[in-house]
Amino acid sequence: MGIVSVRFQQAAGVVLDRGEVIERTAAFVRSRLHSDSSGHDWWHVERVRGLALLLGRREGADEYITELAALLHDVSDYKFNGGDLDEGSRVSYDLLRDLGESEACARSVAEVVRNVSFTGAGSVSRMRTIEGMVVQDADRLDAMGAIGIARAFAYGAVKGEAMFDPDQAPHLHASEAEYLARDGSTINHFYEKLLLLKDRMNTESGRSFAERRHRVIEAFVHDFVAEWRLEDLPEL
Ligand code: ADP
Ligand code: NI
| Domains in the chain, CATH or no CATH each | 18-228 (1.10.3210.50)
User: Is ligand 1 within 6 A of the CB of residue 117?
Assistant: yes
The DSSP string of 183-231 is ---HHHHHHHTGGGGGGG-SSHHHHHHHHHHHHHHHHHHHHHHHHHTT-
- What are the pLDDT digits (tens) for 56-82? 999 999 999 999 999 999 998 666 666
State how far the Cα of 101 lies from the Cα of 210, in Å rounded to an integer: 33
Q: Between the CA of residue 118 and those of 18, 31, 113, 209, what are the distances in Å? A: 30, 25, 12, 19
Q: What is the mean pLDDT of residues 13-28?
A: 91
User: Is ligand 1 within 6 A of the CB of residue 143?
Assistant: yes
Q: Where are the alpha helices (DSSP H) in 63-144?
A: 63-72, 87-98, 103-115, 130-141
- What is the pTM assigned to this prediction? 0.87
CA of 166 to the centre of ligand 2 (A): 29
- What are the pLDDT digits (tens) for 138-188? 999 999 999 999 999 999 998 899 999 988 766 665 555 555 556 689 999
User: Is ligand 1 within 6 A of the CB of residue 190?
Assistant: no
Looking at every residue in the chain, the average pLDDT score rounds to 86
User: Is ligand 1 within 6 A of the CB of residue 139?
Assistant: yes
**Residues making up the chain, counted from first to last:** 236
Q: Does the structure show a pLDDT above 90 at 89?
A: yes
CA of 14 to the centre of ligand 2 (A): 32
User: Is ligand 1 within 6 A of the CB of residue 118?
Assistant: yes
